[in-house]
Amino acid sequence: QAEAAARQLPGPVYVVKSQIHAGGRGKGRFKELGEGAKGGVRLAKSVEAAVADVEEMLGNTLVTQQTGPAGKQVNRLYIEDGADIDRELYLSLLVDRAVGRVAFVVSTEGGMDIEAVAEATPDKIHNVAIDPLAGVTEADAAKLCDALALDGPARADGMTLFPILYKAFTEKDMSLLEINPLIVLKDGHLRVLDAKVSFDGNALYRHDDIKALRDESEEDAKEIEASKHDLAYVALDGDIGCMVNGAGLAMATMDIIKLYGKEPANFLDVGGGATKEKVTEAFKIITTDPNVKGILVNIFGGIMRCDVIAEGVVAAVREVGLKVPLVVRLEGTNVDQGKAILNDSGLAITAADDLDDAAQ
């Protein structure tokens, strides 16, 4: 397949790219290869060299600054034609919440070290917010061209490209569109050489074409399962599983876990209208994480009733078993009934009096 793909390109230079959901691939390293091995984006000067790179990369684990030490297995590769690069630029579109608009972020210092550029020389990063009623005007496009020092054919290309990118961003409900690098070729024209796109998950229902591109092998299995039950779940690196209702309370719970010297294994918000079944599913998801050494359930029963939470916790423990300590802190509506359900369950569940007591 790799050879067939490469032979469809004009050559003689080919670029082999690891397709994982993380940046910094070019400077990444493969766990299974030696220290001197090349990273996750490689330049090959023949079809044979491209095929050799594919054989070395496919199936191995790529570690970058964004993957964490565990890395990600490379299950897909992309082979594209090499480009005659004169300059590498950076361009992204994102939602600038400070001004409430979509904004372009651009820099003449594109390539693999854009994070270092932003930190060391922030004056080289330019921001152009776009009026949603007007879209990208000629003045906006010209401002972007000036910020990227574009002239000649590249400037003409930019004046055409920038409105197209903005239209794609808004019509496809993106949350991030990052092109790094956007290049100026030796012939003076612009080319989009790479792109990273994130979409608003709440808008995917109206984009079947985007949903068809979803690669669940690149996502955390627990997060996929949580989304099926309308649970807000994010996997973290710690060993204390958390189940909380409300994002603010969840963050406070994670903070107090860290205060007492531990790290949360997840963010899990069951929401204000959680049912017994939903709580059971949430508990199952937490217990599938092999890193979890203890579980803290922290519920404030405002909209939600504490007895419903308690019933869900007891049902979940009976269904999946309990191999780690479980501490439950309940407060609010029907709190006494909730505590009674926990105490009468006969299970090894510790009921805490308050959040400080629960964390300890």
Structure confidence by residue, pLDDT tens digits, 187-244: 999 999 888 899 998 898 999 999 888 877 777 778 887 888 888 888 888 899 998 8
Q: Is the pTM of this model over 0.75?
A: no
Structure confidence by residue, pLDDT tens digits, 32-91: 988 888 999 999 999 999 999 999 999 999 999 888 888 889 999 999 998 999 999 999
Q: Which fold has domain 2-81?
A: Dna Ligase; domain 1 (3.30.1490)
Q: Which residues contact 171 (CB under 8 A, 6 or more apart)?
A: none
Q: Which amino acid is at 55?
A: E
CA–CA separation, 74 vs 91, rounded Å?
26
Q: What percent of the chain has pLDDT over 70?
A: 99
Q: Position of tokens 């204390």?
A: 240
Q: Position of tokens 């024209």?
A: 189
Q: Position of tokens 């079944």?
A: 277
CA–CA separation, 352 vs 81, rounded Å?
61
Active-site residue 205, yes or no? no
Structure confidence by residue, pLDDT tens digits, 124-133: 899 999 999 9
pLDDT reported for residue 228? 82
Structure confidence by residue, pLDDT tens digits, 287-310: 888 889 989 988 887 777 888 888
Q: Return the CATH architecture of domain 221-359.
A: 3-Layer(aba) Sandwich (3.40)
Q: Is 80 exceeded by the pLDDT of residue 106?
A: yes
Q: Which residues contact 145 (CB under 8 A, 6 or more apart)?
A: 151, 155, 158, 159
Q: Are 339 and 314 in contact (CB under 8 A)?
A: no
Residue 135's nearest CA partner among 99, 102, 91, 98 is 102
Q: Which amino acid is at 307?
A: D
Q: Is 90 exceeded by the pLDDT of residue 246?
A: no
Three-class SS state of 360:
coil
Q: Bigger pLDDT: 154 or 309? A: 154
Annotated catalytic residue, options 178, 233, 281, 311: 178
Superfamily of domain 85-210: ATP-grasp fold, B domain (3.30.470.20)
Q: What percent of the chain has pLDDT over 90?
A: 46
In this prediction, residue 269 has a pLDDT band, given cuts at 50, 70 and 90, of: confident
CA–CA separation, 35 vs 32, rounded Å?
10
Query: 93-107, 224-238, 265-279, 281-295: lowest mean pLDDT where?
Result: 265-279
Three-class SS state of 282:
helix
> 27 to each of 88, 118, 158, 220, 327, how far by Cα in Å?
16, 18, 28, 24, 43
CA–CA separation, 12 vs 168, rounded Å?
32
- 146, with CB counted inside 10 A (0-12, 13-18, 19+), is middle
pLDDT reported for residue 274? 66
- 90, with CB counted inside 10 A (0-12, 13-18, 19+), is buried
54's tokens: 């594919």
User: What residue segments make up the domains of the chain, in order of their start?
Assistant: 2-81, 85-210, 221-359
Q: Bigger pLDDT: 148 or 360? A: 148
Same fold, 85-210 and 221-359: no
Active-site residue 78, yes or no? no
pLDDT reported for residue 355? 76
